[in-house]
Amino acid sequence: MPHISKKKLAGEIHRKIERDLFLYITKGTPRVDMQTVMRELLTQTEIMMLAKRLAVIFLISRGASLYEIQMTLAISPSTAARFLKDYEIGKFDHLKLLLETPSSHKLLHRLIRAWQTRPRKIGKRYEWFNELQ
């Protein structure tokens, strides 16, 4: 789990930092390879967390049961239930549109398959994930 300082930022400062980050990620310099930037910016744990979140939303959108999602992605029942609740109230409507593209389907199927066939005990925790790219 990422560690966040206990010192809270003022609301306006927090919103400005968030806005600037999203602008940088979405609009960034065209010459910059976004994959490289994300690898430099995020830890392996954060990358895995985001990938699993996308996979959960994808599986819910495909009608998978909570049990299937839990077993496939090794998440807790409460996490699966929380994502389903958020999905049903429309929290992921923009992501649903993104996940409808054929390229997203292919990538997420590869991610899910890799997660299912991952080594259960390995030295470096998520080294296998890098082989997906």
Over the stretch 3-12, which tens digit does the pLDDT of each residue have?
Answer: 666 777 777 8
Q: Which residues contact 77 (CB under 8 A, 6 or more apart)?
A: 66, 70
Burial 10-30 (b: 16+ CB within 10 A, else e): eeeeeeeeeeeeeeeeeeeee
* Burial class (CB within 10 angstroms; exposed 0-12, middle 13-18, buried 19+) of 79: middle
Residue pLDDT, tens place only, 62-108:
899 999 999 888 889 999 999 999 999 999 998 888 877 777 777 77
Q: Supply the pTM of this predicted model.
A: 0.67
Mean pLDDT within 101-123? 68
Domain spans, the chain: 9-41, 42-132
